[in-house]
Amino acid sequence: MNLRINSEFGTLKAVLMHRPGKEIDRLTPYNKDYLLFEDVPYLEALQQEHDAFSNLIKDTTGATVYQLRELLIRVLYDQSILLRLMQDSLKRSGLSQLAEEILQRFSTAECATILTAGLKIHELKRKIPNLESGELMDSAFAIAPCPNLYFQRDPMALTPGGIIFSSMKMEGRQREANLLRTIFENHPDFKDHVNTLYPVNGHDNPPSIEGGDVIILSHEAVAIGNSERTDEKAIYHAAKALLGEGTVKRVYEVHLPKKRQYMHLDTVFTLLDENLVGTYPDAMNAVLQTSLYTLKDVQGDRVNIKREVLKESLLTILRREIPHLEVLATADGNPDYSMREQWFDGANVFAVGPRRVISYNRNIHTNRALRNMGVEVLEIPSSELSRGLGGPRCMTMPLSRSRV
């Protein structure tokens, strides 16, 4: 597995997912906003729906489904890695000095749960009865949970030239990106295949970029959304690395309104085949401008790129990059249903092969329109999964696809 992907729709061979766990049960009506969640899902039903999703991938594609927890435990057997992650996770509560004691009292599997589902002071006191927790109440988090972790698309992105490791906009999600990067740089299955494009070496506080903003348009072009969660400076550095690496010739910066419903570029459009795009029309029309990065020259180690603001619509650019483009609108453009189905990520389907997608069963009008375009639509239950306001694409990190 070379950890590079050259399309959004090549037949899926391997994917990373995270089965929701105890971190979801940490959500309450009072802390959900702080933990960047819209709702309080029912964990057991959420797990059943997620299991149906991962089983459907295995049964219909034969792809390997890697589970984050299993990979994490394997990496955490290295005590130095575990100690570093635990110290980093405790920083926010000012309890980093407890990291070594936690490692002595909790098993590796328990530590993996702590790093994803968080840790409360009263849970610490059960193992360390004489704990000095300062002014923190028993119900306070020593380590906050990561309920967004089942959205595996955000913490990194695979491109034709290598991996972009995300620098998450919201501080509460940065630990997710740290976990992913730690896994890929240390797991024996992956570590020898990582070509890091971002963050740039030596950048301690890199500008933010998230995986949902990265879309592969063609063998030669990648689009990155300048969104609520991805900064212009990050796009510049990622474009420079991609163009300097030589596989990609064009990187488009797509300026989105800084609004919740356009959080990432993949809420605006996704590629379902070499000539088919699924889109939410209102979002496509809301794009403010698009810029193009190309390679100027390479002088030794120094890569110079140029940026040009394009005076044309995103759709015009997509038609130029993708010959004979067909565009499918959420709910087939019906205004009564389009807004409703976009709320539940109608355009955010997950392509497991050319014109073969996994979609939420609740988006009936979009699914019907897809089938009318000759797309095979595999449906998954979505009563609980959809409460996090992310679609099937958001929940999956493809690690290997057939080349197209």
Q: What are 241-256's pLDDT values in tens digits?
A: 999 999 999 999 999 9
The rounded mean pLDDT for the chain is: 92
Which residues face 226 on adjacent strands?
Answer: 255
* pLDDT of 261 above 70: no
Confidence class of residue 219 from pLDDT cuts 50, 70 and 90?
A: confident
111 is catalytic: no
Average pLDDT over residues 169-178: 88
* pLDDT at position 208: 96
pLDDT in the model for residue 299: 86
Exposed/middle/buried for 80, CB within 10 Å: 0-12, 13-18, 19+? exposed
Range in 71-80, 92-101, 226-235, 334-343 with the lowest mean pLDDT? 334-343
How confident is residue 132, by pLDDT bands cut at 50, 70 and 90? confident
Q: Identify the pLDDT of residue 21.
A: 96
Neighbouring C-beta atoms of residue 403, cutoff 10 Å: 12
List pLDDT tens digits, range 374-392.
999 999 999 898 887 789 9
263, pLDDT greater than 90: no
pLDDT of 131:
81
pLDDT at 260: 67
Residue 204 to residue 391: CA distance in whole angstroms: 32
In 3-state terms the chain splits into helix, strand, coil percentages (rounded to 5) of 40, 25, 35
Mean of pLDDT values over 330-352: 77
Residue 206: DSSP 8-state: P
Residue 142 φ/ψ, nearest 5 degrees: -75, -35
Of the pLDDT bands very low, low, confident and very high (cuts 50, 70, 90), residue 159 is very high
When pLDDT is averaged across residues 23-33 and rounded to a whole number, the result is: 87
User: Which pLDDT does position 358 carry in this prediction?
Assistant: 97
pLDDT score for 288: 78
Cα–Cα dist 1/398, whole Å: 11
155 has a pLDDT exceeding 90: yes
**Active-site option among 115, 394, 397, 399:** 394
pTM of the model as a whole: 0.94
- 37-41, 197-201, 202-206, 335-339: least confidently modelled range: 335-339
Alpha carbon distance 251, 240 (integer Å): 9
